Amino acid sequence: METSDLTNVTSFGQSFWSRLWDRLWYHPWHLVWVAAAYFPFLGLMSIPLTGDQKLYISVAMEMRERGSWLKPYFLGEPSYYKPPFQFWMTLLGWKIFGFNLWGTLIPSVLCLLATAWLLGEIAYLLHERKHFVNAGLWFAAALGTVTFATTAQMEIYVCFFYTASWWAGLRFLSKPIEERDWKWLRLAFIFAGISALVKSPLYSVLWFAGFFSYLIVSGEWEVFREKKFYWAFLCGAVLGSAWFLIILCIDPLKFWSDYVVRESLEKMRGNGGSVFGLWSSLLYNCFPFTLLIIPSVRGILKGRRTGEILRFMVSWAWPPFLFFSIFPYRTKPYAHILLPLFVILVDWAYFRVGRTRFYHLTAMISGVCILLVYWFLGLVVYRGELAPYWVILGFLLLGFWSLICSFKDWMRGLVLGSLVGVFLLRAVTVSMGEWDVRILRQTLKQKGSAEFALLDEEKNIWNEAGLLSVAIGKPIAKLFDLDQVADFLQKGGLVLLEEDQSKSYFRTLEAKLLGRGDR
């Protein structure tokens, strides 16, 4: 081979790797970084990060046991407190990946990836340049996303459909009215309709109110004169209400008592939650970019040619902010619906006000805060012996890296470091969770054919049976009294008792079994 040929091969190789590296920094290729932070350890995330997680898995297990896809079940009875979309995703995960923790959590993580991609697409539609789009990375790095995307929790699906509806609506409006493709508007209403099946039709109404106001303030009056607009709305409304109408017809009394009375009307009495507590939860849901929201909003309000992003910001935010501030029942997950919006604002503003003194000062303060948080986490892990030493060292080095990036205005370095922080945090939770299931896994290896059960005297809705079942890949039944425990043991089953239960009931169970002639 001639020397010139070798030179061409070398230059081609350098060009290829250079192009590949550049692509990995561009949307949507940066989703590779997101996947690298979330997919490892996914099948070992057995520690509960939220109480609802255990309840939702238990409901899906009972639906699986009964072969029911229409009616959710809990404690042997139909349960209509929540629509079924979350349970459908869990059942689908088990159908494809098997009954295990991976199959339980993979739908939520895939939904996270889809939301991250959509946020980048929205940035394009708001005229962000491709080279500067990092919205998906910021979303994946946020603490609120880590919490809800790895716990089989409904909030990640709410964010996805809210974001997807906005994306399709903006895609429809991106061209002059005579060139618009109405399928995008139909798709927007379809996404909004499906969101009613996640937690409540309320979220469909909130999106429609925001999008309706966006059309008005943008001067899109011609849209309201088209019959296609109302057909698209009707399509979404029918899709979103179908399950509710079906259940209302086949089980009206139970649906009325569960969903209408207890889940809707009784919540109007309130729960003692404060408006401050509700919205201040965004401060840690948006970590590590919490402080960057301040100069971002300030830059939009004071900047030139920011009318489009300002209209979008207000239209997205005002319906959920107003409703949840007024509604007397307030819980912290409600605030999570604003997280995707703040991600877009921070990403949009950095390349416009990122060189101002105020932004630079805020970034430096953020770096110091991130450093302290990572060092505190490292100290907690070290003192509690919660994870291997490489995790502790990772938190320490990551604190230094974040500080350097914030002082140098290396925002991509900061967000990439934050994704490494997500990886380390998940490693800690995996290590903690494995303590709880290690003995159970060993018992399963020794007596894999035995049936497992757990004593749940008080019928606690946040019982551990569902989460432990998927952690070991074997369903764990629930027993509600000592007679059921004795019957289960007599049939050769294994019963899991908490430490206080073991101390209280061991002698009683022994007497019951001896009385039946079972030694």
Query: Can you tell me the distance from the alpha carbon of 108 to that of 400, in angstroms, rounded to the nearest whole number?
Result: 31
CA 200, 206, 207, 212 dihedral sign is: positive
Residue 9: predicted pLDDT: 45
Q: How many CB atoms lie within 10 A of CB 48?
A: 18
Q: Report phi then psi at 462, rounded to 5.
A: -100, 35
Report the sign of the C-alpha dihedral through residues 412, 413, 418, 421, in that order.
positive
Which pairs count as long-range contacts for 509-517, CB under 8 Å and 24+ apart, including other chains?
Answer: 509/482, 509/485, 512/482, 512/483, 512/486, 513/486, 513/489, 516/486, 516/490
Please report how the helices 307-326 and 275-285 are oriented relative to each other, as an axis angle in degrees rounded to 10.
Answer: 130
Contact present, 340 and 121 (Cβ < 8 Å): no
Label residue 454 left, alpha or beta by phi (over 0 means left) and psi (-120 to 50 means alpha).
Answer: beta
From the list 210, 189, 166, 171, the residue with the least C-alpha distance to 317 is 210
Distances in whole angstroms, Cα of residue 203 to Cα of each of 3, 163, 237, 305, 324:
65, 12, 12, 31, 11
Strand partners, 479: 455
Cα distance between residue 207 and residue 77, in whole Å: 33
Phi-psi region of 309 (alpha: psi -120 to 50; beta: other; left: phi over 0): alpha
Number of H helices, E strands in the chain: 22, 5
Cα dihedral sign, 373-377-379-380: positive
Residue 20, pLDDT score: 66
Tell me the sheet residues that pair with 455: 479
Note down pLDDT in tens along the chain; length 519 residues.
444 444 444 444 456 666 666 667 777 888 899 999 999 988 887 777 677 888 899 999 999 999 999 999 998 899 999 999 999 999 999 999 999 999 999 999 999 999 999 999 999 898 887 667 889 999 999 999 998 888 778 999 999 999 999 999 999 999 888 889 999 999 999 999 999 999 999 999 999 999 999 999 999 999 999 999 999 999 999 999 999 999 999 999 999 998 888 888 888 888 888 899 889 888 889 999 999 999 998 888 887 778 889 999 999 999 999 999 999 998 888 989 999 999 999 988 888 777 788 989 999 999 999 999 999 999 999 888 888 889 999 999 999 999 999 998 888 889 999 999 999 999 998 888 877 788 888 888 888 788 888 888 888 888 888 888 898 888 998 888 888 888 888 888 888 887 777 777 777 777 766 666 555
User: Which residue(s) pair with 148 in the sheet?
Assistant: none
pTM above 0.75, yes or no: yes
DSSP codes of every residue in 328-367: S---GGGGGGGHHHHHHHHHHHHHHHTTSHHHHHHHHHHH
CA distance 101 to 472: 8
Query: Cα–Cα distance between 402 and 423 in angstroms, integer?
Result: 15
Residue reference for tokens 């089953």: 493
Question: CA 49 to CA 147: how far, in whole Å?
Answer: 7
